[in-house]
Amino acid sequence: MSAPHQGAPGAADDVTPTPSGTWTGSGGYADPIWETVDDYLAIRLLNGDDVLDDAVADSAAAGLPPIQVSPLQGKFLHLLAQLSGAREILEIGTLGGYSTIWLARAVPAGGRVVSLELLPEHAEVARANIARAGLSERVRVLVGPALGTLPTLRDLGYGPFDLVFIDADKGNNPYYLRWAIDLARSGTVVVVDNVVRHGSIADPDNGADDVRGTQEMFNLAAQIDGFDATVLQTVGVKGYDGFLIGRVR
Ligand code: SAH
Ligand code: DHB
Ligand code: MG
């Protein structure tokens, strides 16, 4: 039997009522109230920001999938970086540089962000968005599969990182968590996006590569001595998902 999570429309054994709202893809069904509340909060807590709006618009115009963190989530990453006093940040999964800009704005003068992106066409859009944000000095986007780039970072003079944001191909999440810890110091903050996926994470029979990768990441996190983590489940414009937030002891 499938776990009683929402989603999986049409599954033969799906006895959950179909919720109202719109299908968001990986975020599952989004209840309209989640979007209404996100809008309510964004109006009050976020400043209008042409640079970020343009980054989203140009990413969409270039055909990138609209899967960047939401504005409120971007600010969450920004605040986490500031709260932890991060000066050197690693991001895995750049897309159009939206989360990169939020993170790079949080580091003090002399700080830096290195962001790893598989696709040159995504990196190109990201670099343009980062340049418009005036952040090119402190951000490097490195192109290629992250599992190829990660082993080169130390030789390039990066690390230990103060904060690592993992948001790429979820099937590799266990490897990314390993690398995050390898490139960390005591106190490094590790954040992983999309760890709930409208509840599919709790379904042992799900079988999808991204879900399996994140499940294996949790199994690994449980085994690693010296890594303390929790998950905040989230709802909003991206549907129902969650962030892992961890600290290297
Ligand atoms: N962090 C971004 C969203 C990233 S979307 C934001 O919130 O704004 C995930 C990105 O990971 C995509 O651009 C995808 O091309 C990239 N990606 C997928 N597989 C990858 C890999 N093996 N190595 C590096 N990046 C990868
Ligand atoms: C997808 C990837 C993400 O990182 C995200 O936040 C939402 C969706 C995706 O691949 O569908
Ligand atoms: Mg994500």
What CA–CA distance (Å, rounded) separates 242 from 215?
Answer: 13
pLDDT for residue 20: 56
pLDDT for residue 8: 38
Distance 145 CA to ligand 1 centre (A): 9
Find all residues with CB under 8 Å of 226, minimum gap 6, and list them: 248, 249
Q: By C-alpha distance, which of 182, 159, 179, 156 is closest to 168?
A: 179
What CA–CA distance (Å, rounded) separates 202 from 196?
Answer: 8
Nearest atom (ligand 2) to Cα of 194: 6
In the chain, what are the domain boundaries? 25-248
* Nearest protein CA to atom 12 of ligand 1, as residue: 95
CA distance readout (Å), 247 to 87, 93, 99, 180, 230: 16, 20, 20, 11, 9
Distance 97 CA to ligand 3 centre (A): 12
- Placement of tokens 């390039």 in the chain: 156
Furthest C-alpha separation in the chain: 56
Instruction: Please answer whether residues 102 and 91 qualify as being in contact, where contact means their C-beta atoms are separated by less than 8 angstroms.
Output: no
Taking ligand 3, which is a single-atom ion, which protein residues have CB atoms under 5 Å away?
167, 193-194
* Nearest protein CA to atom 26 of ligand 1, as residue: 118
pLDDT for residue 21: 63
Instruction: Please answer whether residues 27 and 240 qualify as being in contact, where contact means their C-beta atoms are separated by less than 8 angstroms.
Output: yes
pLDDT for residue 6: 39
Find all residues with CB under 8 Å of 147, minimum gap 6, and list them: 172, 175, 179
pLDDT for residue 227: 98
Half-sphere exposure of 134 (CA within 13 A, CB side): 4
Pocket of ligand 2 (CB under 6 A): 25-26, 67, 167, 193-194
Give the CATH class of 25-248: alpha beta
In short, whether 99's Cβ falls inside 6 Å of ligand 1 is yes
DSSP symbols for the chain: ---S-S--TT-TT--SPPPSSEE-STT-EE-HHHHHHHHHHHHHHS---HHHHHHHHHHHHTT--S-SPPHHHHHHHHHHHHHTT-SEEEEE--TTSHHHHHHHTTSPTT-EEEEEES-HHHHHHHHHHHHHTT-TTTEEEEES-HHHHGGGTTTTT---EEEEEE-S-GGGHHHHHHHHHHTEEEEEEEEES-SSGGGGGG-TT---HHHHHHHHHHHHHHH-TTEEEEEEEEEETTEEEEEEEEEE-
Predicted TM-score (pTM) of this structure: 0.92
Strands 161-166 and 88-92: parallel
pLDDT for residue 188: 98
Instruction: Please answer whether residues 122 and 95 qualify as being in contact, where contact means their C-beta atoms are separated by less than 8 angstroms.
Output: yes
Task: Per residue of the chain (249 residues), give pLDDT as tens.
Answer: 333 333 334 333 443 444 556 666 666 677 999 999 999 999 999 999 999 999 999 999 999 999 999 999 999 999 999 999 999 999 999 999 999 999 999 999 999 999 999 999 999 999 999 999 999 999 999 999 999 999 999 999 999 999 999 999 999 999 999 999 999 999 999 999 999 999 999 999 999 999 999 999 999 999 999 999 999 999 999 999 999 999 999
